[in-house]
């Protein structure tokens, strides 16, 4: 029997556009608190409906982006590598996340002081390798440090379009040998690495990438993503996946969508180490 996916989310009680640290954020374009709550709970309910166990982090006034739990850090088995945010506006989130993970049985560690690292926003397992986005938020040298600490292979991928400032805005592993991606977010070398290392790559159009369709949550064969990506939905269907579209427009105003709003506590479905642990547990 497959292990129940465990996901950490934070209700959007204090979410809002209070500063501008990426091209999507504009303090003149406010989020609607009621609609934000409605969209967030629709995502929560969709995930629980797919069989995921969602755990909640208490929101904190003054930390509007705490809702984007994907940026908390990176989980590898029972280790939590905490993020070291590039922008001061988000650095207050770190002690909140650290306390939660320590209280829930994880060993908490940090990258060196001068190494920026924004967790599962930029570090995503696909099979045995850690795909590592860098330039806008995380540093390439930090990603190599993370790989050394975990004892895993790291494939650095330079991001070249500031609209896709985190790897999870333009790349989503589906399984150990497949992923969706927007080629325009990577340089030619990065595109060649992805083509060489991932057997099945589903390309997302520029129009649908702009609607954050790559920022998706994978639960088994279901892919939860922002509405407005019919071509990707058809492509996923041809590969045996079902798209679950939701309206998450209030969070796109801050540069995030379904994936940004979730943190897999048990490792992503596409991580080989998670699959091995699941097999061992069910043996």
Q: Given 44, 166, 172, 214, which residue is catalytic? A: 166
- Determine the pLDDT at residue 43: 98
Provide the CATH number for the domain around residue 177.
Answer: 3.75.10.10
Chain mean pLDDT for the chain: 96
**Mean pLDDT on 178-187:** 98
Name residues whose C-beta falls within 8 Å of residue 182's C-beta, 6 or more positions apart in sequence: 164, 170, 171, 203, 204, 205, 206, 209, 214
* 217 in any annotated domain: yes
**Mean pLDDT on 13-27:** 98
* 269 in any annotated domain: yes
**Mean pLDDT on 144-167:** 98
- Determine the pLDDT at residue 282: 42
Is 260 annotated as catalytic? yes
Name residues whose C-beta falls within 8 Å of residue 2's C-beta, 6 or more positions apart in sequence: 220, 278, 282
% residues pLDDT > 70 (the chain): 96
Quick check: 46 pLDDT over 90? Answer: yes
* 77 in any annotated domain: yes
Taking only the tens place, the pLDDT of each residue in 78-132 is: 999 999 999 999 999 999 999 999 999 999 999 999 999 999 999 999 999 999 9
Q: Given 10, 126, 172, 260, which residue is catalytic? A: 260
Taking only the tens place, the pLDDT of each residue in 123-152 is: 999 999 999 999 999 999 999 999 999 999
The DSSP letter of residue 49 is H
Domain tally, the chain: 1
* 182 in any annotated domain: yes
* 1 in any annotated domain: no
Domain that holds residue 46: 6-282
* 267 in any annotated domain: yes
């Amino acid at each position: 029997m497959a292990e129940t996916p465990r996901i950490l989310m934070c209700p959007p009680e204090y979410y809002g556009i209070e500063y501008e640290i990426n091209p999507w954020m504009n303090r003149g374009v406010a989020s609607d608190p009621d609609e934000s709550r409605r969209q967030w709970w629709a995502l929560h309910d969709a995930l629980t409906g797919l069989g995921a166990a969602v755990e909640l982090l208490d929101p904190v006034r003054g930390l509007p982006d705490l809702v984007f739990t994907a940026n908390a850090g990176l989980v590898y088995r029972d280790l939590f590598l905490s993020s070291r945010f590039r922008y001061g506006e988000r650095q207050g989130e770190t002690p909140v996340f650290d306390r939660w993970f320590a209280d829930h049985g994880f060993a908490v560690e940090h990258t060196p002081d001068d190494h920026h690292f924004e967790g599962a926003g930029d570090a995503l397992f696909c099979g045995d390798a850690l795909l590592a986005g860098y330039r806008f938020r995380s540093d390439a040298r930090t990603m190599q440090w993370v790989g050394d600490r975990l004892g895993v292979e790291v494939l650095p991928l330079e991001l070249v379009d500031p609209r896709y400032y985190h790897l999870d805005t333009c790349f989503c592993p589906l399984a150990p040998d497949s992923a969706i991606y927007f080629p325009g977010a990577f340089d030619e070398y990065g595109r060649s690495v992805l083509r060489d290392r991932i057997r099945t790559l589903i390309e997302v159009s520029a129009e649908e990438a702009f609607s954050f369709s790559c920022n998706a949550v994978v639960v088994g064969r279901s892919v939860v993503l922002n509405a407005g990506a019919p071509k990707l939905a058809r492509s996923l269907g041809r590969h045996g996946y079902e798209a679950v579209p939701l309206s998450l427009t209030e969070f796109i105003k801050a540069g995030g969508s379904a994936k940004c709003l979730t943190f897999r506590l048990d490792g992503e479905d596409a991580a080989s180490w998670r699959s091995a642990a699941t097999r061992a547990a069910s043996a």
